[in-house]
Structure 1
Amino acid sequence: MDFKWIVVPLFIFAMPITFANNASIKIEGRVLPAPCTVNGDTVKKTISFNQTEARSLSEAGTGGEWNKFSLELDDCPAYLNYAIATFSGTPDEDDPNMYKNNGDASNVALQLADDTTTYGDGSSMTISIDPVTHKGIFMLSARMYTPKGNVGKGTFNSVVGVNFTYQ
């Protein structure tokens, strides 16, 4: 009789205990058309500056000639109202609202702006998408700028990334 009392409890603890419940998950969504198409010229945009004499950038806070350009979005779906461009790049050491010059000219940076705002690393610009043409156009300007003055001769180049999002 002692043998049964020992064996029975071992079998009870060794049996797996399982419970089952039924559940259903409802998943819903929408398939939307693709967002705007980034215009081919915008994808590989290159802005070329005229030669600038170092002496014209000898004082802090001065800049070269503004170079106007646009970034364009085409074929935007009718449901989109706004496009947002977020800019990224290496900030200049002397002015974080400017972009670093990767060339060998010293004390000079890239300034990126529209008519009212300078766009540094991490800043965003919002535009309305034209409901008739289904295009979005970011009107911008860029120039060489010196936060410190006393620009040294050499080459100038800078890279700014742009990420587009939509609303």
Structure 2
Amino acid sequence: MNKNLIAVAVLAASAFSTSVFAEDGKVNFSGTIIPQGCEVTADTVNQIVDLGKVSVTSFPSSGATAGSKDFSLKLKNCPTTITAATVRFDGIQVPGNNSILALTDEANVATGVGIQIADNQNKVINLHQDSNEYPLVSTGENILKFVARYVSTSATVTAGPANAVSNFTIVYQ
């Protein structure tokens, strides 16, 4: 009988208690989904940027860069209401550094190095953040220029495949 009484008391107490959550603030998200954006040209929508074969001796210290290669995204058929855009690159970052894209995990992958992307002003673009703004025209092809390069993340770089993948999103202004 005492066990039943205790169970009823616990059940009754839980019915009257409320959960308490600490609230330090809130985040409001906003944005707009537009009916049509620019068309990314077929030759740049799924491209391969070949950074070439670079020697481990090209990275004498952490933060050294090598193998820079220009690439671009081309946009056409932009609506007349869109006059500018930024680009957000995403992907897996090197732990603790959102400006360096981690290499794809594969057999014998190189270590101590990642890939960095910079805009047409040579400003490094952090992953998941907007690039500088590129002006757009509706009556022609828009070329958004970037550069990719290897960057060492430690004092020691080992040899091996050094590939990475980044998706991109065009964000219209």
Between the aligned partners of 1:96 and 1:36, the Cα distance in structure 2 is 27
Between the aligned partners of 1:141 and 1:82, the Cα distance in structure 2 is 20
Question: Does the 8 Å contact 2:116/2:149 carry over to 1?
Answer: yes
- How many pairs does the alignment contain? 135
Q: Partner of 1:155 in structure 2?
A: 161
Between the aligned partners of 2:125 and 2:84, the Cα distance in structure 1 is 18
Q: Partner of 1:140 in structure 2?
A: 146
Question: Does the 8 Å contact 2:122/2:147 carry over to 1?
Answer: no
* Equivalent AA in structure 2 for residue 128 of structure 1: P
Q: Partner of 1:78 in structure 2?
A: 80
Identity fraction in percent: 23
Q: How high is the TM-score relative to the length of structure 2? A: 0.71
- Shift in Å, 1:33: 6.7
Q: How high is the TM-score relative to the length of structure 1? A: 0.74
* Equivalent AA in structure 2 for residue 120 of structure 1: N
Q: Which of 108, 111, 116 is residue 116 of structure 2 equivalent to?
A: 111
Name the SS of the counterpart of 2:86 in structure 1: strand
Between the aligned partners of 1:120 and 1:70, the Cα distance in structure 2 is 17
What does residue range 1-167 of structure 1 map to in structure 2 within 5 Å? 34-93=36-95, 95-102=97-104, 103=106, 104-114=109-119, 115-125=121-131, 126-130=133-137, 132-133=139-140, 135-167=141-173
- Shift in Å, 1:111: 0.8
| Deviation sequence 1:124-160 (CA, Å, 0-9, x none) | 1221103542x33211000111021210011110111
* Bigger CA radius of gyration: 1
C-alpha RMSD over aligned residues: 1.8
- Shift in Å, 1:47: 0.4
Between the aligned partners of 2:43 and 2:61, the Cα distance in structure 1 is 35
Unaligned runs of 5+ in 1: 1-31
- Shift in Å, 1:120: 2.1
Question: Does the 8 Å contact 2:64/2:152 carry over to 1?
Answer: yes
